[in-house]
Chains A and B, each alone.
Chain A
């Protein structure tokens, strides 16, 4: 009885596996080149090109994640409505965006990449997250699929030798930290700095860039350094600890919106009022500084390369009004963007369009060549003093940032500290 059952169980398992396997099979294995004409790469026909985005659309990072899809969709929605992009090979194509939710899980982002390949996507772009982008970086290299203008400040993606099919979009974290460090070291006075950073490559990158920039400045000393986890509900203890260091400058490499607000509130409650530095993605005047009561501090500094639509200074800016209306119409994003990723991915759209215009063949090779050859592109929403430059090895598409100071309503470019 027992013996006779044994094969039955195995059989059940085997049978079920085969059912699963068979239910999956649709088409047979295809080689490369399932495009429109002969010699063209997958995902591009004479009239259309398909791009894929794998990004967190659910979970804790879904807020910025949704923005990465909305911005690109808004940009190309408007371009498609106007007829499409005239490519370098003379054909005019519309741009289709396919989005996939990876919930910030590397395993899922790899699965999404595999799905993209099977869905005949020309290139992956704009996805948010370091681990999620790293998870399919090597698969993208081995299958020669572009993974470009992704939203991570991880320098690996901008190293051409290691990442031939990749390019980062946003400044590497080090650049942003260094920009503030330079401003601070150029100031006349003696400054004591307290540092609070997120315990991952984001926080570490900021701090590394900042420390590198103040290395030779004798007037700057770091008097306290703490970290927090992105999942923490409170950083009160760290602030209490740092406040006791007596620092007059607070370098706060924090990417979590509610924690930044409550940090701004908490520090002034316990009577610590230093000058603050905040990263570009947590410095929104309306979403963070106002509720945090930032006016109480002598100065809030941040870095940016995008015009902030919330800022009164840009309320009537033509770029901003066009962006907001397209975001609503084509990006399925009716609200005022709470995260800068919406603006960044809109710029990604502009950068891609530029590459499309100069790619002479409908192939991924030609696209990468064109993409790596963009210089001084003033993408819409870019602040003066910044530009897209993809020609420098080791640097992402945007590497220039402007240090800004909060003026109670919006930001103004800061020439000096203090």
Chain B
């Protein structure tokens, strides 16, 4: 009885906090300087792309080096639709659906292959995508790219463009994250995890590894398409450079840096993708490559589980430190308060991440 009421109490506190955070998020763009909003908008764009990548790679264990292709496809479809004067909701759906359909077709074939072969097939997407985008210049504007503006703040809103864009990105990003969250917590999430762990076991449990992989890949592509839509909302321009292979590699790095197999990690990955170039530019614009490599390696060296494991690493560090002086007699207070926040904060993560040795 007591535990139930305390759980209820905690739950209501959490809901209150969630409401508070939502209010903060809604109010933030009104208070923040333009550049902060613009940065947050770009973080949202790439967080959704990383989230998709996380579903197929972090959760289902299928290496995907082509996620940026779907971002680019979504961006091109959005640009085309906007310039054709389609309704913006239709444009958004078209961006997601076209990326999803292409993703499905690729996955139907690629999911037959395992491991590295699937990596090579997905590498091909951006590699072939760039010359293809140039070839189809009627739709894509060729190498000069294509501009489309739909994300400028309308008159009636009284907002600045960056604030309006923030809200567009916030809506799509929040929806994407909530969707992804319920997906990986549900039936399909468990199927993903089993397929990642061992395909034969999955098959013996009645889960088709092939279908599961196709599903994960298709969902990842749809998220890529949504991210492309957001890309156009934020950048208002796209060109073949958008889908260059190097960015796909950067997305992969961002996913692992954020935390593979973690929803919150995807957001951190998106933040990493945007912040690191800004930080390295501030350090010395002539040494960006060097400092980016150093930062990436340093982060992984300190946090092999990604940025999302920072709180846990800190706690572990703290425990070790506080543990030392009292090593003679076991601390009475330490074990008691710890499990509670750990269960609350770390619980979901533990469940999401397939903790490896």
Residues 1-27 of chain B, each 1 if its beta carbon lies under 8 Å from chain A, else 0:
000000100110011011001101100
- Chain B contact residues: helix, strand, loop or mixed: helix
The answer to whether A106 and B239 have CB atoms under 8 Å apart is yes
Minimum CB–CB distance for B69 against chain A, Å: 15
- By beta carbon, the residue of chain B nearest A98 is B285
A353, CB-defined interface residue at 8 Å: no
A29 to B166: give the CA distance in the assembly, Å.
15
A204 to B137: give the CA distance in the assembly, Å.
12
Count A-B pairs with CB separation below 8 Å. 189
A82, CB-defined interface residue at 8 Å: no
B241, CB-defined interface residue at 8 Å: yes
- By beta carbon, the residue of chain B nearest A200 is B143
The answer to whether B277 and A11 have CB atoms under 8 Å apart is no
Minimum CB–CB distance for A181 against chain B, Å: 22
A108, CB-defined interface residue at 8 Å: yes
Task: List which B243-275 residues lie within 8 A (CB) of chain A.
Answer: 244, 246-247, 263-264, 267-268, 271, 274
Minimum CB–CB distance for A3 against chain B, Å: 8
B354, CB-defined interface residue at 8 Å: no
Interface size, chain A (Cβ < 8 Å) = 64
The answer to whether A106 and B145 have CB atoms under 8 Å apart is yes
Question: In the complex where A24-B39, A200-B134 touch, is A8 in contact with B28 (Cβ < 8 A)?
Answer: no
Question: In the complex where A12-B345, A115-B281 touch, is A26 in contact with B33 (Cβ < 8 A)?
Answer: yes
- Chain A contact residues: helix, strand, loop or mixed: helix
B208, CB-defined interface residue at 8 Å: no
Size bin of chain B's contact surface? 35 or more
The answer to whether B241 and A105 have CB atoms under 8 Å apart is yes
Minimum CB–CB distance for A135 against chain B, Å: 5
Residues 194-210 of chain A, each 1 if its beta carbon lies under 8 Å from chain B, else 0:
00000111101000000
Q: Which of B110-118, B230-238, B332-340 contacts A (4 or more CB under 8 A)?
A: B230-238
Question: Contacting B25 at CB < 8 Å: which of A17, A114, A134, A156?
Answer: A17
Minimum CB–CB distance for A271 against chain B, Å: 31
Provide 17 A-B residue pairs closer than 8 Å at the C-beta atoms, listed in order of the A residue.
A15-B17, A16-B268, A20-B43, A21-B28, A26-B36, A28-B31, A29-B33, A59-B246, A103-B288, A111-B38, A114-B34, A114-B35, A114-B38, A117-B35, A134-B237, A135-B239, A156-B144
Chain A positions within 8 Å of B, measured between CB atoms, are: 2-18, 20-21, 24-30, 57-59, 66, 99-101, 103-108, 110-112, 114-115, 117-118, 130-132, 134-135, 137-139, 142, 154, 156, 199-202, 204, 229, 332
